[in-house]
Amino acid sequence: MQGQMRLTSRLPGFHRLDLAHRRQWLLKGEAKAEDLEALEPGRALGLETADKMVENAVGVISLPLGIGLNFQINGRDHLVPMAVEEPSVVASASHAARIVRQSGGFQTEATNREMIGQVEVRTCVNPATAKVSLLRHEAEILAVADSVHPTMRARGGGARAISVHPLPDGLVVHLIVDTCDAMGANTVNTMVEAIAPLISDLTGGRVGLRILSNYTDSCLARARCVIAPAHLTAPGFSGPEVRDGIVQATLFAGADFHRAVTHNKGVMNGVDAVVIATGNDWRAIEAAAHGHACRTGRYRPLTTWDVDLDGNLVGSLELPMPVGSVGGSVGLTPGTRAALRLCGVEGAQELAQLIVAVGLAQNLGALKALATHGIQHGHMALHARSVALAAGAQGELVERVAQEIVRLGEVRVSAAREILARLT
């Protein structure tokens, strides 16, 4: 990054270039030739590495990696690497990010990155006395936790505090750990196992489970955007109409469980794509997001869309975002290392904020389409290429078959096969 010009994320016409020219364009910015090589099939994750990563490995499965464009976050441009099999996700995020960019971009922030490890204590005779004893010995417990991961302390992180919560027949101790730029699941799990004997001594109870909690509500990231209605138009719809349609769609999600789940799936389309591209644990992010959606006891839409006093559309999203920019499987494979470099973030906190901004953009893109022409209008044109591929089309025939099934309004594999047979 140093000494090199930062690439703008606004690249008009990028999607119309062929893949080779898109890669060339990236070289003008932060991407290095070795990054692009690392994203080639067979390089992103080699068989040898795969064999070390999981048991019984027999191969690797690949996903397309697209670049989300137009993202401006806290005044800085970012290219967004998105690994996803679904057509429209990258295009829709880029479209929405462009709208937000015209209105000043995303504002984001992140809380401290603190993970929670849980130690369950069963058959505790007197939970109230046990709690007092635990809190009195907090420093000792933290010291034991840190002793198994001295490097975390050296990096400025480590065990920070404990809290004690009642259970029907005992209690649970939360160990709060600052894991710096790592997601830190292994660190936290090692720590809670290490403190378990001391917890048992201090409480007189029997220790049960010792494991991190995937509900990381002390590691949150937030994104917000304020959009002038003039930037929200769609053919046949005025800005205020689109704005009000988006607000109405959010009210629907707030009132209806089935819709809320789909609303949030749209948010996670963008979130997961970046989480996967950067080698993070997407199951952890998904679990935490859906936990966050029902933190009030009722499952709710993750985003809010309201109108401010000036008539602007104001969107926000808060998510637990315990991603890492080092450690674990992050950075283990050449492909994820290259993706991390491409998005130009300085560490885990900045990555978390980028991902939440992408989730908000993805939701905006989906709601804007749903509130105007419907999702199939744009989606089918892009989906048609996958249908053409599934029908066996190759090379330039993919585009020809795709265009023809869209023209006929028959975006189906059977129709694509017939057209392919005619063309070959």
Residues making contact with ligand MEV (CB under 6 A): 86, 262-263, 265-266, 269, 366, 370, 375
Which residue, 7 or 369, is less far from ligand MEV as judged by CB? 369
Q: What angle do CA 277, 279, 282 make, to 5 degrees?
A: 85
In the complex, the smallest distance separating the C-beta of residue 259 from ligand MEV, rounded to whole angstroms, is: 8
Tokens representing residue 251 in the block = 């009210």
Identify the CA nearest to 211 among candidates 302, 120, 276: 120
| CA-CA-CA-CA dihedral for 131, 137, 139, 140, to nearest 10 | -130
In the complex, the smallest distance separating the C-beta of residue 229 from ligand MEV, rounded to whole angstroms, is: 20
In the complex, the smallest distance separating the C-beta of residue 366 from ligand MEV, rounded to whole angstroms, is: 4
Q: Are 110 and 178 in contact (CB under 8 A)?
A: no
Q: Are 122 and 226 in contact (CB under 8 A)?
A: no
End-to-end CA distance of the chain: 48
Rg (CA), the chain: 24
In the complex, the smallest distance separating the C-beta of residue 66 from ligand MEV, rounded to whole angstroms, is: 15
Which residue, 321 or 371, is less far from ligand MEV as judged by CB? 371
In the complex, the smallest distance separating the C-beta of residue 357 from ligand MEV, rounded to whole angstroms, is: 17
| d(C-alpha 247, C-alpha 243), whole Å | 6
| Active site residues per annotation | 86, 265, 281, 379
Q: Whose structure tokens read 């109405």?
A: 248
In the complex, the smallest distance separating the C-beta of residue 240 from ligand MEV, rounded to whole angstroms, is: 21
Q: Are 362 and 271 in contact (CB under 8 A)?
A: yes
Identify the CA nearest to 223 among candidates 130, 314, 294, 131: 314
Which residue, 332 or 370, is less far from ligand MEV as judged by CB? 370
Amino acid at 358: V
| d(C-alpha 388, C-alpha 394), whole Å | 8
Which residue, 158 or 266, is less far from ligand MEV as judged by CB? 266
Identify the CA nearest to 242 among candidates 227, 220, 221: 227
Which residue, 7 or 232, is less far from ligand MEV as judged by CB? 232
Identify the CA nearest to 319 among candidates 223, 177, 252, 180: 223
Q: Are 119 and 215 in contact (CB under 8 A)?
A: no
Which residue, 280 or 303, is less far from ligand MEV as judged by CB? 303
